[in-house]
Amino acid sequence: MTTTPPCFDEMLISQDQVRDPYSDYYDWFSKEDLKRLRLKSAEAEAFFRKIGITFNVYGQDEADERLIPFDIVPRIISSREWARLERGIDQRVRAINAFLHDIYHRQEILRAGRIPAELIARNAAFLPEMMGVNPPGGVYSHIAGIDLVRTGEDDFFVLEDNVRTPSGVSYMLENRETMLQMFPELFTRMKIRPVSAYPRLLRRSLSNCAPENSPNRKPVVAVLTPGIHNSAYFEHAFLADQMGAELVESTDLSVVDGRIAMRTTQGFQPVDVIYRRVDDAYLDPLNFNPESLLGVPGIMDVYRAGNITLANAPGTGIADDKALYSYMPDIIEFYTGEQAILKNVPTWRCSEADSLAYVLEHLSELVVKEVHGSGGYGMLVGPAANKKELSDFEAKLRAKPANYIAQPTLALSTVPILAKSGLAPRHVDLRPFVLVSPNKIDITPGGLTRVALKQGSLVVNSSQGGGTKDTWVLGD
Which residues contact another protein by CB under 8 A?
A: 104-107, 110, 117, 121-122, 128-132, 254-258, 285-287, 290, 297-298, 301-302, 304-307
Angle at 376 between CA 73 and CA 42, to 5 degrees: 30
- Of the candidates 87, 92, 53, 89, which has an alpha carbon nearest to the alpha carbon of residue 70? 53
**Distances in whole angstroms, Cα of residue 339 to Cα of each of 88, 121, 329, 333:** 10, 27, 7, 6
Nearer to another protein, 63 or 293 (CB): 293
Nearer to another protein, 130 or 210 (CB): 130
Nearer to another protein, 141 or 307 (CB): 307
Nearer to another protein, 13 or 255 (CB): 255
The rounded distance, in Å, linking the Cα atoms of 30 and 305 is: 61
Nearer to another protein, 298 or 408 (CB): 298
**Distances in whole angstroms, Cα of residue 380 to Cα of each of 89, 173, 193, 436, 463:** 28, 31, 37, 33, 15
DSSP state of 282: G
Nearer to another protein, 111 or 189 (CB): 111
Q: In whole angstroms, how close is the CB of 257 to another protein at the nearest point?
A: 7
Residue 302's H or E segment, with its range, is helix 299-304
Nearer to another protein, 76 or 125 (CB): 125
Residue 417's H or E segment, with its range, is strand 414-419
The rounded distance, in Å, linking the Cα atoms of 151 and 8 is: 6
The rounded distance, in Å, linking the Cα atoms of 357 and 360 is: 5
DSSP state of 464: G
Q: In whole angstroms, how close is the CB of 226 to another protein at the nearest point?
A: 18
The rounded distance, in Å, linking the Cα atoms of 200 and 41 is: 29
Nearer to another protein, 68 or 130 (CB): 130
Nearer to another protein, 259 or 426 (CB): 259
Q: HSE (CB half, 13 Å, CA atoms) of 174?
A: 25
Question: What is the DSSP annotation of 81-136?
Answer: HHHHHHHHHHHHHHHHHHHHHHHTTT-HHHHTTSS-HHHHHT-TT--GGGTT---G
CB-CB neighbours of 122 under 10 Å: 11
- Of the candidates 418, 20, 16, which has an alpha carbon nearest to the alpha carbon of residue 183? 418
Nearer to another protein, 137 or 285 (CB): 285
CB-CB neighbours of 29 under 10 Å: 19
Nearer to another protein, 39 or 131 (CB): 131
Q: In whole angstroms, how close is the CB of 247 to another protein at the nearest point?
A: 21
The rounded distance, in Å, linking the Cα atoms of 243 and 235 is: 12
The rounded distance, in Å, linking the Cα atoms of 167 and 140 is: 17
List, in order, residues 6 or more apart from 435 with CB less than 8 Å away.
Answer: 142, 143, 198, 201, 202, 205, 441, 442, 443, 444
Q: In whole angstroms, how close is the CB of 130 to another protein at the nearest point?
A: 8
Q: How many residues are listed for the chain in this entry?
A: 476
The rounded distance, in Å, linking the Cα atoms of 348 and 204 is: 40
Nearer to another protein, 269 or 464 (CB): 269
Beta bridge partners of 211: none
